Amino acid sequence: MSLREHALTLFRSAVGTVRPAPMLKKAVKLQGDGCPQLLVKGQVFPVKRDLYLVGFGKAVLGMAAAAEEILGDHLIRGIINVPLGIQESLQRAGMQEMLLKPHSKIQVIEGARNNLPDPEALRGAVAIQELAEGLTVDDLLLVLISGGGSALLPAPILPILLEEKEKLTKMLASRGAAIQELNIVRKTLSLLKGGGLARLAYPAQVVSLILSDVIGDPLDVIASGPTAASSHSVQDCLQVLAKYNLLHNLPKSVETVLSSSPTKPTALEDYSHVCNIIIGSNTLALDEARRQAEGLGYTTLILSAAICGEVGRVATLYCQLIQLVCLGFTGLGEGPLSDEVRGNLLQLAAELEIPGLNLAEFLQALRGLGPERPVCILAGGETTVKLQGTGKGGRNQELALRVGLGLYRAQATKVSSPQGRCEIVFLSGGTDGQDGPTEAAGAFCSPELVDEALQEGFDVEAFLSNNDSYTFFSQFQGGHHLLVTGLTGTNVMDIQVILIRATERS
Ligand SMILES: Nc1ncnc2c1ncn2[C@@H]1O[C@H](COP(=O)(O)OP(=O)(O)OP(=O)(O)O)[C@@H](O)[C@H]1O
Ligand SMILES: O=C(O)[C@H](O)CO
């Protein structure tokens, strides 16, 4: 198999392991007929009487279908809020396993057009609220949560109107608020977010199964943490609103709610009936890819599952890492060139402030590598693209094209480039199968890509400055370098696979 085929296999295996059905079936079991018990990742929850299910998020339909199969007749009733049109598009894509069976006990409510709260999502949220409020100490509530859950569970605290909350969310997002900031505000203004759903379900046992789409898997940020204790107070919310210059023209209703919000977060003791369990994440996906890569004979290193930062700088980080591996393969691992690249890399990594990135240890591991075994570097997270052009693209395609350009430049400036003696494939893809508003999940690149593109008359830099990576990749060599998977039904952010092997000349 070629490096490219290997990269694709690794990407697919990473995504495969966090697809709703396999993920749920691996994490959850129901055992014992007389006194059934729910087993979730080694934790045991007795099903004393009735078992209910609620869920909200983009991947929740597939999770619910798998959960209903596992729970069988023990499930009394369920309600899930999922994106508008999802059943039809999964049907069209032939992904039957993600759909509920006829006569399912789970009611599906579709809403949140364009990932924004709307009356349909509100109707679903009210139904979920009523179900939670009616539970008793003998009941167990299984809560399925995935990315997109915030917009799908809107329950503004009165007198805030849905339209007012929608407008505020839109303004924060358009002013560049990060998801952590956005969700601090959402939690303060919502009845069900910030642990609200769990508190309403008391005294029932609440078990939440969470598919994380946020860097670092913070329980109180994913879908605005409806079953997690929030560490934020109304002060934090006011700070976010002030930062984005929104404090002075808030609707009266929002001011009323802010002024009567408790100043301290709810005490942890109030969550003793709740268990939040992450069953799918970027880390789990990368671990599976590592297992596969090792099986294929690669020396495999996971850089981080929390890669973040401006796409151009992250591309430079990857180019420098690739250069270091190639220098090591060609016997130049120690010397002025390596020292220079290593120094630049450390500085850039410090500037990017990627959480948990232990580069020193990583570089140490690279030092011991020989050319006999190929190397696989795996990483995940989400970069940021500041849109400046009017083109069509996504952050993965833009990252791949920028890495291609960086490798081309590094090669062009060195007389005898160590890269020239290595075969390299870089792949970046969104695990949801959709990179930005395009039909591709991401793209592949190699050091030869930009040179070949230039020879065919493609001005790569012009495509990049217009954020037009999709147009480039779909036109160049008949779309050969695009990664097209179709919608996967899951989402644990993005994944990068870098494969490097020494060629015979080195
Ligand atoms: N022309 C473009 N070039 C590069 N990136 C783009 C372009 N247009 C949009 N994007 C990026 O695509 C992202 C939006 O796409 P997408 O819907 O895949 O986001 P997402 O954050 O992955 O959403 P979700 O978490 O729901 O999957 C934004 O980060 C935006 O910066
Ligand atoms: O729904 C949300 O809040 C985002 O997708 C983050 O989980």
The complex's ipTM works out to 0.95
Contact between 80 and 107 (Cβ < 8 Å): yes
**Is the beta carbon of 222 within 6 A of some atom in ligand 2?**
yes
Name the helix (H) or strand (E) containing 107: strand 106-111
Main-chain dihedrals φ then ψ at residue 320, nearest 5 degrees:
-65, -40
Q: Give me the percent of the chain exceeding a pLDDT of 70.
A: 98
Query: What's the rounded mean pLDDT across residues 283-297?
Result: 97
Using the mean position of ligand 1's atoms as its centre, give its distance from the Cα of residue 376 in Å: 26
Q: What is the pLDDT of residue 386?
A: 86
Identify which has the larger pLDDT, 268 or 324.
Answer: 324
Reported as a pLDDT band with limits 50, 70 and 90, residue 358 is confident
Residue 415, pLDDT above cutoff 60: no
Provide, rounded to the nearest whole percent, the portion of the chain with pLDDT above 90.
81
| Pocket residues: Cβ below 6 A from ligand 1 | 147-148, 213, 385, 387, 391-395, 398, 430, 432, 434-437, 467, 469, 491
State whether the beta carbon of 226 lies less than 6 angstroms from ligand 2. Answer: no
Ligand 2 mean position to 78 CA, how many Å?
21
Residue carrying the six token digits 């890669």: 307
Pick the residue whose CA is nearest to atom 3 on ligand 1.
393
Average pLDDT (26-39) is: 90
Sheet architecture: strand order including 205-211: 106-111, 75-83, 51-56, 140-145, 205-211, 274-280
Band (270; pLDDT cuts 50, 70, 90): confident
| Residue 115 alpha carbon, nearest atom of ligand 1 | 26
Written as six digits, the tokens of 477 are: 């060599």
How many C-beta atoms surround the C-beta of residue 358 within 10 A? 12
Output the CA angle 176-179-181, nearest 5 degrees. 80
Q: Whose CA is nearest to atom 15 of ligand 1?
A: 436
Look at residue 102 in the predicted model and tell me its pLDDT.
Answer: 94
Query: Of 146, 481, 431, 483, which is closest to residue 289 (Cα–Cα)?
Result: 431
Residue 451 pLDDT level (bands cut at 50, 70, 90): very high
Tell me the pLDDT of the chain averaged across its residues.
Answer: 93
pLDDT at 418: 66
Q: How, if at all, do strands 274-280 and 205-211 pair?
A: parallel
- State the alpha helices, DSSP H only, in 395-459: 395-413, 449-455
Contact at 8 Å (CB) between 55 and 83? no
Helix (H/G/I), strand (E/B), else coil: 483: strand
Calculate mean pLDDT across residues 392-417. Answer: 88
Q: What is the dihedral of CA 470, 474, 479, 485, to 10 degrees?
A: 50
| 120-144 confidence digits (pLDDT tens) | 999 999 999 999 999 999 999 999 9
